[in-house]
């Protein structure tokens, strides 16, 4: 196993954050996966002692500031999702690729349900089934990353 540097984690989170800030519009905006959450889930699997619930909360606050929505909604969604991911982290690294895909899909849906709950409580209308399309594209992106060699099967040793 190789060591995971903190700079690598922060750089990948910065790249994911920049992907959120790109000028998405139309269909691409409806299909845009939550890049930041996917990176957080990856690092929870690979380096759980360096990327944790606190990291997810802090990055969620930054996403809240960048998107201009209800302050704290992404922080809450990322924290809840990361909490569920941390609970099953030890088992998740033993899952096959298909089982990991299903679990990542469930994590992305948990995040979107948390965001939807906050949006409904803040007075927004209930959205249709297309609201959950980013979860599907997120799983497709996760599968593409695994197919290209991103190893999520065992955690790295980090010092």
Q: Is residue 158 part of a domain?
A: no
Average pLDDT on 19-30 reads: 94
Average pLDDT on 100-104 reads: 93
Q: What is the pLDDT of residue 158?
A: 53
Helical H runs in 22-124?
Answer: 26-31, 35-46, 53-67, 73-87, 89-92, 97-121
CA distance 143 to 96: 12
Query: Roughly what angle, to the nearest 10 degrees, separates helices 73-87 and 35-46?
Result: 30
pLDDT cut 90: percent of the chain above it: 69
Residue with tokens 């959205």: 127
Q: Is residue 156 part of a domain?
A: no
Q: Is residue 46 part of a domain?
A: yes
pTM for this predicted structure: 0.91
Residue with tokens 């519009």: 25
Residues of the domain holding 143: 6-22+31-150
pLDDT tens per residue, range 35-82: 999 999 999 988 888 999 999 999 999 999 999 889 999 999 999 999
Q: Do residues 34 and 42 lie in contact, with contact meaning Cβ atoms separated by under 8 Å?
A: no
Q: What is the pLDDT of residue 92?
A: 79
Q: Is residue 155 part of a domain?
A: no
Q: What is the pLDDT of residue 128?
A: 85
| Total domain count, the chain | 1
């Amino acid at each position: 196993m190789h060591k995971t540097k903190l700079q690598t984690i922060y750089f990948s989170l910065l790249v994911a954050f920049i992907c959120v800030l790109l000028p998405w519009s139309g269909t691409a905006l409806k299909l845009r996966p939550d890049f930041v959450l996917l990176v957080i889930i990856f690092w929870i699997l690979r380096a759980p002692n360096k990327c944790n619930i606190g990291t997810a909360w802090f990055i969620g606050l930054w996403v809240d500031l960048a998107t201009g929505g209800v302050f704290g909604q992404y922080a809450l969604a990322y924290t809840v999702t990361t909490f569920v991911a941390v609970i099953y982290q030890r088992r998740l690294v033993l899952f096959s690729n298909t089982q990991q895909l299903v679990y990542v899909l469930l994590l992305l849906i948990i995040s979107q349900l948390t965001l939807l709950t906050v949006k409904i409580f803040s007075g927004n209308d209930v959205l249709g089934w297309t609201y959950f399309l980013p979860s599907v594209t997120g799983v497709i992106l996760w599968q593409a990353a695994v197919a290209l060699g991103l190893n999520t099967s065992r955690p790295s040793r980090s010092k």
